[in-house]
């Protein structure tokens, strides 16, 4: 039996792993987490997928309890601003497309929609809610799509059946602190000390980590949550790291924490990605401040220039705010599980945060670790299965992100011109050819699970301007009455909800502690 799990590194990855494993296996395993007091959390504000709900429900955590402690807010979509270079925008929502007569609202909108209106407003409800800064919940706590509400229990990403309409923004450091308290209460042994050495046996398997003040910490299974350093997986076990910078060259970021009076300005219930000369700027509204950062390639922009661009965009006149410069390691390990070591989080793999996949990668890895948890035979079938699942998810997200840049028509700077001649992942070229003729479907997107459904691929293609020149011919032979009613119903539902839902700030202020409310 594998009983002793040692997690090296804290932060969001370490504590998500610790609390999930203790919830799954309880006292049948012991979990020790070793972290240095000198190593901080990289994130200055995290955006997530709607599937994060499975994680919180698995742990039995109520959003009304953890959100106030983590500066939490709602995320209904990502707003892509100026990615076409003409000042326009579109929303990538957490919302599946409605269908009529076997064809999606996006298909019918191409045939029947207003050509002067952005496709997302013709196909989804969410853009209306975002622009009006609406909460997904009424003041009494009920969800606007009540049929999708309710606890999921101990379900996983594999059991995702319906599309939940929102995700979260939260402060990564506060989330790590919240999960630390939970983990310690669950019985996780918390060792705050510097790791100064890693012990291995004659096979090269890890036997222990040595700490500066508290000696050796031994275990059976070691989880590397040491971030981009990859202390165990890369530095100790020498696992090969496969870089993605040939297709995703953004390798740096500079971030700011910007205070904001939410009572005066409100809270936008979406992440914003604003295209800039050498990359893009994220804007993540938390309860009480904005997390913002410029993601760029140092081939096209110097750190000083990036910081200056970010300050002018997000915090003019606030020169006292400290900038956090981050070097990002873009790519993944060839294997994330080697011998008795599993890498989770940044030590496993990372792509730029354009679609908020960092937390999703952690959640997916933890769930797969539980499903592939070993015994003392260390069955290689389990280990290969884990590595295949993790690699395919990261590779699929890589391809989806490259789509954003290739589909964008911008060519106004060297950075954006380079996006049109750079290599692209295998398979994407064929998908791009298809998308120029007809909308993508289940058979023409990346074929393995990677967190993004067909509607996401369609949304990015159409939002960036990669659209078929004409609707599907079949639609001309179908009576459009039902489809027209469906499209009208989208607008009617959206307008009704905008009138009835409270603002995001109004609702979130009701769940804050009384002293702050």
Whether 43 shows a pLDDT value over 70: the answer reads no
CA distance 83 to 87: 8
Residue list for the binding site for FAD = 10-13, 195, 359
| pLDDT at res. 515 | 45
Among 8, 46, 38, smallest CA distance to 347 is for 8
Q: How confident is the model at residue 517 (pLDDT cuts 50, 70, 90)?
A: very low
353 near 282, Cβ under 8 Å? yes
So what's the pLDDT on residue 42?
55
- The pLDDT of 310-319, averaged and rounded, is 96
- Smallest CA-to-CA distance from 18 within 162, 187, 151 is with 187
Using one digit for the tens of pLDDT, what is the confidence trace for 410-430? 999 999 999 999 999 989 999
Residues in Cβ contact with 261 at an 8 Å cutoff, skipping those fewer than 6 apart: none
- What CA–CA distance (Å, rounded) separates 360 from 393? 10
Secondary structure of residue 52 in the 3-state scheme: helix
Span 185-212, average pLDDT: 98
- The helix (H) or strand (E) run that includes residue 388 is helix 380-407
Q: Do residues 3 and 214 lie in contact, with contact meaning Cβ atoms separated by under 8 Å?
A: no
Residues annotated as binding site? 10-13, 75, 195, 346, 355, 359
Structure tokens at 186: 């669950």
pLDDT in tens, 374-424: 999 999 999 999 999 999 999 999 999 999 999 999 999 999 999 999 999
Binding-site residues for L-tryptophan, in ranges, read 346, 355
**Which residues face 337 on adjacent strands?**
342
Rounded to a whole number of angstroms, the CA Rg of the chain reads 23
Neighbours of 259 (CB within 10 A): 11
Which are the catalytic amino acids?
75
DSSP for 288-350, please give it: SEEEEEEEE-TTT--HHHHHHHHHHHH-TT-TTSPPEEEE---EEES-SEETTEEE-GGGTEE
pLDDT band for position 516 (cuts 50, 70, 90): very low
Q: pTM of this prediction?
A: 0.97
> Which residues make up each annotated binding site for 7-chloro-L-tryptophan?
75
Tokens matching residue 463:
């939002």
CA distance 23 to 183: 9
């Amino acid at each position: 039996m594998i009983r002793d799990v040692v997690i090296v590194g804290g932060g969001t990855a370490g504590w998500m792993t610790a609390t999930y494993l203790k919830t799954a296996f309880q006292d049948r395993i012991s979990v020790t987490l070793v972290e240095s007091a000198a190593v901080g959390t990289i994130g200055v504000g995290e955006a997530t997928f709607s599937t994060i709900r499975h994680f919180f429900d698995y742990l039995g955590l109520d959003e009304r309890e953890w959100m106030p402690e983590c500066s939490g807010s709602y995320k209904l979509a990502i707003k892509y601003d100026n990615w076409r270079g003409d000042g326009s925008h579109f929303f990538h929502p957490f919302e599946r497309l409605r269908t009529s007569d076997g064809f999606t609202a996006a298909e019918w909108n191409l045939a029947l929609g207003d050509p002067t209106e952005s496709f997302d407003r013709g196909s989804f409800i969410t853009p209306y809610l975002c622009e009006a800064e609406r909460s997904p919940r009424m003041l009494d706590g009920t969800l606007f799509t009540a049929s999708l509400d309710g606890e999921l229990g101990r379900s996983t990403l594999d059991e995702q059946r319906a599309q939940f309409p929102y995700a979260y923004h939260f402060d990564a450091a506060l989330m790590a602190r919240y999960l630390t308290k939970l983990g310690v209460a669950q019985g996780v042994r918390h060792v705050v000390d510097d790791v100064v050495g890693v012990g291995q046996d004659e096979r090269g398997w890890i036997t222990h980590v040595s700490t500066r003040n508290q000696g050796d910490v031994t275990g059976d299974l070691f989880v590397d949550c040491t971030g981009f350093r990859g202390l165990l997986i890369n530095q100790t076990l020498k696992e090969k790291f496969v870089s993605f910078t040939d297709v995703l060259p953004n390798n740096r970021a500079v971030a700011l924490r910007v205070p904001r009076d939410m009572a005066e300005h409100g809270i936008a219930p979406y992440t914003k990605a604003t295209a800039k000369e050498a990359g893009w700027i994220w804007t993540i509204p938390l309860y009480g401040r904005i997390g913002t950062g410029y993601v760029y390639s140092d081939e096209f922009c110097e750190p000083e220039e990036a910081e200056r661009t970010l300050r002018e965009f997000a915090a003019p006149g606030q020169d006292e705010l400290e900038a956090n410069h981050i070097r990002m390691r873009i790519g993944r390990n060839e294997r994330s599980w080697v011998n008795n070591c599993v890498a989770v989080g940044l030590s496993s793999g990372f792509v730029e945060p354009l679609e908020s996949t960092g937390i999703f990668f952690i959640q997916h890895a933890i769930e797969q670790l539980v499903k592939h948890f070993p015994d003392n035979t260390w069955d290689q079938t389990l280990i290969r299965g884990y590595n295949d699942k993790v690699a395919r998810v990261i590779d699929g997200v890589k391809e989806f992100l490259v789509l954003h840049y290739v589909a964008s028509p911008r060519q106004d700077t060297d950075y954006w011109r380079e996006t049109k001649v750079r290599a692209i992942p295998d398979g994407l070229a064929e998908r791009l050819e298809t998308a120029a003729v007809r909308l993508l479907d289940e058979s023409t997107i990346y074929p393995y699970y990677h967190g993004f459904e067909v509607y996401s691929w369609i949304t990015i293609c159409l939002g960036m301007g990669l659209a078929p020149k004409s609707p599907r011919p079949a639609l001309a032979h179908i009576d459009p009455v039902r489809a027209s009613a469906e499209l009208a119903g989208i607008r009617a539902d959206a307008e009704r909800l905008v009138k009835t839902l409270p603002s995001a700030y109004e609702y979130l202020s009701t769940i804050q502690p009384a002293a702050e409310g």
